[in-house]
Amino acid sequence: MPFLTIRDVMSKVEAFHEEFARRLHRAEECAVNDEAKMMLRFLGDHQQQLATVLGTIDVDREYKISTLEEWVQFDTEVENPIAFLNQFEVDANATCEDVLTAANKLDICLFCLYKSLATGGSTPKAQRLFARLARMELDHQKAKQSHASYY
């Protein structure tokens, strides 16, 4: 099981969201289905916003530098967002449902990663940070499922 500092983990997740946003926007440019294009733009913008938020986490008072320098251990058997990203592709003829399926897979990957980091956190503050991020992903997943017709 590898060890990383919380700062390193957050930096990697931030970079993941940025790259996923770029891929969604590239897929939007190729999409022929107008609804799928709109969904790809929405999800790409959302991923970029998440990256921006994660990039400013060290400014947040509750998670001062001391917390970000803590080491965490995590299970490498959990679903890997980088593996997801490497396999991610949206066909030009994708439907909104196809796009949502990809977005749901991302949420599951991130939930598993954060949950693993929450249990591997060395302090209660680190555990709470990752538990909150896991909860955010779970809430996002539930919101999409309950408003599937909206998307």
First CA to last CA across the chain, in angstroms? 38
Residue 149 pLDDT class (50, 70, 90 cuts):
low
The domain segmentation of the chain, as residue ranges, is 3-146
User: Residue 72 forms beta bridges with which residues?
Assistant: 4, 121
Model confidence over 85-138: pLDDT tens digits? 788 787 888 888 888 888 788 788 888 888 888 887 677 888 888 888 888 888
Q: Under a CB-based contact definition with an 8 Å cutoff, are residues 93 and 33 in contact?
A: yes
Amino acid, res. 42? F
The whole-angstrom separation of Cα 113 and Cα 74 is: 8
Span 3-146 CATH architecture: Up-down Bundle (1.20)
Output the CA torsion 136→76→127→131 (10° steps). Answer: 20
Q: In whole numbers, what is the pLDDT of the chain averaged over residues?
A: 79
**Residue 60 φ/ψ region, left for φ over 0, alpha for ψ in the -120 to 50 degree band, beta for the rest:** beta
The whole-angstrom separation of Cα 110 and Cα 117 is: 10
Query: What are the tokens at 18?
Result: 């940025």
* Percent of the chain predicted with pLDDT > 90: 3
Judge residue 8's burial from the number of C-beta atoms within 10 Å of its C-beta, 0-12 exposed, 13-18 middle, 19 or more buried: middle
Say yes or no to pLDDT of 5 above 70.
yes
